[in-house]
Amino acid sequence: MEIRVVENTAPSAKPADSELGFGKHFTDHMFVMDYEEGKGWHDPRIIPFGYISLHPASTVLHYGAEIFEGLKAYRTKDGSIQLFRPMENIRRLNTSAERMCLPTLDEGVAYETLKAFIRHEQDWVPHSEGTSLYIRPFMFGDDETLGVHTVKRATYMIIASPSGSYYKEGINPVKIMIESEDVRTVRGGTGYAKCGGNYAASTRAGERANKKGYSQVLWLDGVERRYIEEVGAMNVMFKIDGEIITPALTGSILPGITRKSCIEVLRSLGYKVTERLLSVDELFDAVKSGRLEEAWGTGTAAVVSPIGRLMYEDVEYVIGGERIGPLTQKLYDILTGIQWGRIEDSFGWIDKL
Ligand SMILES: *Cc1c(COP(=O)(O)O)cnc(C)c1O
């Protein structure tokens, strides 16, 4: 696979690691590849980062044909760069594409182009503790017609953003509000796909929670509004009576790679992990009787995020004395240790650049 490269002749100054934040700065190049029915994917290229132009009738602008992924490139102590389970992201991108009637990518091509792009931008992987290069592959339909159908034209792109440490001020447990009005998705819907539309639809509840002093919402299932699904853009896990319970992937939940990795780490440590339906009633029974020991969210950005307070129908429940629990801390240490190369990867998850 031949990738055309157009170098950016006016590269920008790199921000200091202390000023990175999340998703504010972008590297000097972006990856682009086009799709056309009959012709397939073609013209993979790395070109200077910049604006793109779209036909005003483009499918993505009217019917929301868009999917994305999120992963990080980590710099290890010896200066080398590594990825964490990138094939999982590629497979999930194709699952999302299939759901949204977008064209899938050949796994090998997606993998090679991803690595080639990161290699090209490798100087942008920051060095300070906890920082990383956040990589955002995405795809959208850009048919130049208002007709509604499977797209005949699409664009696949990758952009990258050097990002600061998620926990600059230490790992503080978050306050979560259980949402009882809006739902994120329903079974049979698009919950398992990583698509922009899911985010557009869930922003309103997030904003309402923010106004009340909660950082994110915990979603309940869209039919009975009883079963716990996930937290904002993170999957969620509970330690009840020594057992770890996480909502089963029923179709309305995003199958997180961090979720999957946590389950594998926990099982390797000898914990019992159960994927099943968990109702709010059962959860609050466990809280009230003191059997809920720890609760945390999982996702690429935060890795593991302890939950310190849960608000439901105007009652607030404190979890684990609002401190990070020992198992949450252990999971965080193991996963980040593997990702940044501080501890040996006995799972085979690391992919050196
Ligand atoms: C991306 C995402 C997650 C977390 O997935 P990871 O692969 O662990 O980063 C969880 N929930 C939603 C809705 C997401 O979009």
Taking only the tens place, the pLDDT of each residue in 174-223 is: 999 999 999 999 999 999 999 999 999 999 999 999 999 999 999 999 99
- CA terminus-to-terminus distance, the chain: 18
Q: Which tens digits make up the pLDDT trace of 271-287?
A: 999 999 999 999 999 99
Alpha-carbon distances of 348 from 119, 130, 338, rounded to whole Å? 21, 21, 10
Percent of the chain with pLDDT over 70: 100
User: What is the 257 CA–ligand 1 centroid distance (Å)?
Assistant: 7
Q: Whose CA is nearest to atom 6 of ligand 1?
A: 256
Quote the CA–CA distance of 64 and 210 in Å, as a whole number. 26
Residue 74 backbone phi and psi in degrees, to 5: -110, 140
Q: Tokens representing 129?
A: 């503790």
Give the residue-averaged pLDDT of 7-36.
95
Quote the CA–CA distance of 183 and 223 in Å, as a whole number. 9
Which atom of ligand 1 is nearest to 92's Cα? 7
Q: What SS3 state is found at 321? A: helix
Q: Which tens digits make up the pLDDT trace of 329-353?
A: 999 999 999 999 999 999 999 999 9
Which atom of ligand 1 is nearest to 89's Cα? 7
Residue 155 backbone phi and psi in degrees, to 5: -130, 135
- Residue 140, beta-bridge partner list: 66, 155
CATH number listed for the domain at residues 4-163: 3.30.470.10
Cβ–ligand 1 contact at 194 (below 6 Å): yes
Percent of the chain with pLDDT over 90: 93
Quote the CA–CA distance of 75 and 62 in Å, as a whole number. 39
**Which sequence spans correspond to the domains of the chain?**
4-163, 174-339
Task: Report pLDDT for 168.
Answer: 76
Alpha-carbon distances of 8 from 28, 37, 280, rounded to whole Å? 6, 31, 52
Q: Which of 318, 324, 289 is nearest to 306 (CA)?
A: 324
- Do 92 and 257 meet the contact criterion of CB atoms below 8 Å apart? yes
Mean pLDDT of the chain: 95
Q: Tokens representing 318?
A: 């404190």
Buried/exposed code over 230-260 (b: 16+ C-beta within 10 A; e: otherwise) = bbbbbbbbbbbeeebbbbebbebbbbbbbbe
Q: Can you spell out the DSSP letters for 103-117?
A: ----HHHHHHHHHHH
Cβ–ligand 1 contact at 299 (below 6 Å): yes
pLDDT bucket at 171, cuts 50 / 70 / 90: confident
In this predicted structure, the answer to whether residue 58 has a pLDDT above a threshold of 80 is: yes
Which residue out of 229, 252, 300 has the highest number of ligand 1 atoms within 8 Å of its CB and is therefore the one to mutate?
Answer: 300
- Do 58 and 141 meet the contact criterion of CB atoms below 8 Å apart? yes
Give the residue-averaged pLDDT of 213-237.
95
Task: Report pLDDT for 216.
Answer: 93
Q: What SS3 state is found at 80? A: coil
- Residue 350, beta-bridge partner list: 84
Q: Which tens digits make up the pLDDT trace of 292-326?
A: 999 999 999 999 999 999 999 889 999 999 999 99
Alpha-carbon distances of 157 from 31, 137, 141, 179, 317, rounded to whole Å? 5, 6, 12, 34, 43
Question: Strands 174-178 and 153-163, how do they pair?
Answer: unpaired
Task: Report pLDDT for 166.
Answer: 84
CATH number listed for the domain at residues 174-339: 3.20.10.10
Q: Which tens digits make up the pLDDT trace of 73-120?
A: 999 999 999 999 999 999 999 999 999 999 999 999 999 999 999 999
In this predicted structure, the answer to whether residue 11 has a pLDDT above a threshold of 90 is: yes
Q: What is the dihedral of CA 213, 218, 221, 223, to 10 degrees?
A: -10
pLDDT bucket at 121, cuts 50 / 70 / 90: very high
Task: Report pLDDT for 264.
Answer: 98
Task: Report pLDDT for 26.
Answer: 97
User: What is the 230 CA–ligand 1 centroid distance (Å)?
Assistant: 9
- Do 79 and 176 meet the contact criterion of CB atoms below 8 Å apart? no
